[in-house]
Chain A
Amino acid sequence: MLFPTFTFAVFFVIVLCVGWLIHSKPVLWKLFMVGASYVFYAWWNPSFVLLLVASTLVNTICGRIIAAPPNTSHGPSAQATNPSQALRKTVLFLAIAYNLGVLGFFKYHDFFISSIEDGLNQLGWSVNLPLLRVVLPVGISFFTFQALSYVIDVYRGKISACDLLDFAVYLAFFPQLVAGPIVRASEFLPQLSQRLNPLNIDITRAGILIASGLFKKVVISSYLADALVDDVFGFPERFSGLEILLAIYGYSIQIYADFSGYTDIAIGVAMLLGFRFPENFNQPYRATSIQDFWRRWHITLSSWLRDFLYIPLGGNRGGKFKRDRNLFLTMLLGGLWHGAAWPFVVWGAYQGGGLLVERRFAELRGSRQTRRTERRATSQTFQAPSQNPLAPSQNLQARPQNPPMRLTTLLKWLATFHFICVGWLFFRSETLDDAADMFRQLFTSFLTPDPKLNSVFVGVIVCALLMQMLSRPALARLQTNISRLPVWIMALGFGAWVLVIEQFGPEGVAPFIYFQF
Chain B
Amino acid sequence: MNESSRNPEHRNPGHDQQNPKRQNPRRTVSASQAIWGVLAGLLIAALFSSGSLVDLAERQEFGTTRDVALSAARGFDRFSSFFSLDRPASALSAVFDENETTYDVESLIAIGREQPNVAEPNRAPDNPPDATTPSTEPTIPPSEPTTNTLPPTTTTAEGTTDATAPTSTTQATTTTTIVPPNPTTTTTTTPPAAPDGAPFSANRRQVSQNNPLKLWVGGDSQTLALTRGFGRITSPTLVDYTRDPHISSGLTRPDYLDWPQRLAKLLTENRPEVLVIMFGGNDYQDVYYNGQLLKRPSQAWLDFYRTRVAEAMDLLNQPDVEVIWVGVPIMRDEFFATGMAHLNEIYQSEAASRASIRYFDTWEMFADSNGNYTDRIDGQLVRESDGIHLTTTGGVLAAEEIWATIAPRWGLE
Contacts and interface: CB of A to CB of B under 8 A. Distances in A.
Interface in B223-241: 227-228, 230-232, 236, 241
A234 B228 contact: yes
B179 interface: no
B135 interface: no
Contact of B28 (A126, A200, A231, A488): A200
A20 interface: yes
A17 B37 contact: no
B243 interface: yes
A20 B40 contact: no
A394 B20 contact: no
A83 to B, nearest CB: 30
B191 interface: no
B60 to A, nearest CB: 9
Interface string A499-513: 110111001101000
A110 B5 contact: no
B231 A203 contact: no
A431 to B, nearest CB: 8
A394 B11 contact: yes
A479 interface: yes
Nearest to B7: A476
A123 interface: no
Which of A6, A183, A395 is the most central at the interface, judged by chain B CB atoms within 10 Å of its CB? A6
B13 A191 contact: yes
Given A13-B39, A278-B13, A20 B32 contact: yes
Interface string B7-40: 1011111111100100011111111111111111
Interface residues of B, number: 72
Contact of A121 (B4, B6, B12, B379): B379
A491 B32 CA distance: 14
A496 interface: yes
Interface string B231-260: 110001000010100011000000001000
B23 to A, nearest CB: 10
A8 to B, nearest CB: 11
B5 A508 contact: no
A275 B33 CA distance: 17
Interface size class of A (residues with CB under 8 A): 35 or more
B52 interface: yes
Contacts of B97: 503
A494 B31 contact: no
Contacts of B24: 202
A507 B28 CA distance: 35
Contacts of B2: 396, 473
B53 interface: yes
A277 interface: yes
A276 B14 CA distance: 6
Interface in A8-55: 9, 12-13, 16-17, 20, 23
Given A110-B385, A131-B375, A508-B247, A276 B38 contact: no
Contacts of A134: 385
Interface stretch (B41-49, B158-166, B284-292, B355-363): B41-49
A137 to B, nearest CB: 12
Nearest to B380: A114
Interface stretch (B88-96, B119-127, B200-208, B304-312): B88-96
Contact of B20 (A16, A197, A277): A197
Contacts of B36: 487
Among A131, A197, A234, A494: residue with most chain B CB under 10 A: A234
Nearest to B96: A503
Contacts of A499: 45, 48-49, 88-89, 92
A394 B241 CA distance: 51
Interface string A95-128: 0000000000000001000100100010000101
A155 B5 CA distance: 33
Nearest to A471: B3
B370 to A, nearest CB: 15
Instruction: Pick the 10 closest A-B CB pairs, nearest first.
Output: A495-B44, A235-B231, A491-B40, A498-B45, A494-B41, A276-B13, A198-B31, A473-B3, A491-B41, A483-B26
12 contacts: A13-B38, A13-B42, A17-B35, A198-B32, A207-B41, A235-B230, A239-B236, A279-B10, A490-B41, A496-B88, A498-B45, A503-B93
Given A204-B26, A207-B37, 20 more contacts: A13-B38, A20-B32, A20-B35, A131-B375, A190-B14, A198-B31, A198-B32, A205-B9, A235-B230, A276-B13, A278-B13, A476-B6, A480-B25, A480-B26, A487-B37, A490-B37, A492-B40, A499-B48, A502-B49, A510-B247
